[in-house]
Amino acid sequence: MSKVRVIDVHTGIFDENNRIADEIRRQNQADQTLLVNIMASPGAGKTSVLLRTIRELKKQYRIGVMEADIDYAIDAEKMECEGIPSIQVHTGGECAMDAAMTKQALFEFSSKDFDLIFLENVGNLVCPAENDTGASVNVEILSVPEGDDKPLKYPLMFQVCQVVLINKIDTKKFFAFDDEAVTARIHALNPNAKIFFLSAKTGEGFDQWTDWLKAQLESRS
């Protein structure tokens, strides 16, 4: 007779995370707060895009920022210099935020006091795509220097995002980047993804992105 113990596991490892994520979305909906999760590779321009976005919206909306990093607080300090309430979240070595971390940060942040909260996630294209943070909107920033092949290499990231921002379009003269190819690759994975081409340096293309974001904010009630 076999002495091997057999344990029936009926709860997936992500079930608890997903439960908390759904709880966050329900609470933010009740508070009419839009939580936007910003994801990208290191160097893609998350903070630069976020700063320009905030500058264009802060006169109309109450905005807060949660900066997630493995260590240090340089990005949160940049937000504070802009006069934007921010908190730094150290993930304890984890490569991405999860729903429990997000819930704790929101509790410390009094999220009901904001119309819009940005979560700038840890920089990479793998772990953040795997964890539901409870955000209402997931945004991926892909920079021109990274290449137009990234949707082929990191498909999950582009599948879970409602918006893809193609940043650093001012550098196209230096890099081979095919707008039509990257658009086709993203839409093959996620037909409903909104794609905006922009430059955090020059401001080109930001109107379309911020207009879309305003529409999400105005439709909260």
pLDDT of residue 13: 59
Domain count, the chain: 1
Would 9 be classed as within a structural domain? no
Which segments of 58-139 does DSSP mark as H helices, in order? 74-81, 99-109, 127-130
Which of 143, 134, 210, 133 lies closest to 170, judged by CA? 143
Would 101 be classed as within a structural domain? yes
Which regions of the chain are under pLDDT 50? 1-2, 5-12
Secondary structure (3-state) at 5: coil
In angstroms, the CA 218 to CA 32 distance is: 10
Residues 140, 50 contacting (CB under 8 angstroms): no
Would 10 be classed as within a structural domain? no
In angstroms, the CA 156 to CA 111 distance is: 28
Measured over the CA atoms of residue 16, residue 111, residue 53 and residue 210, the dihedral's sign is positive
Residues 195, 164 contacting (CB under 8 angstroms): yes
> Residue 134 is part of a domain; what is its CATH number?
3.40.50.300
Assigned token pair, 20: 């908390």
Would 5 be classed as within a structural domain? no
Would 2 be classed as within a structural domain? no
Q: Which domain holds residue 171?
A: 15-218
pLDDT of residue 220: 77
Residues 89, 105 contacting (CB under 8 angstroms): yes
Would 185 be classed as within a structural domain? yes
Would 4 be classed as within a structural domain? no
Would 138 be classed as within a structural domain? yes
In angstroms, the CA 7 to CA 9 distance is: 6
pLDDT of residue 73: 67
Residues 21, 119 contacting (CB under 8 angstroms): no
In angstroms, the CA 7 to CA 139 distance is: 39
pLDDT of residue 112: 73
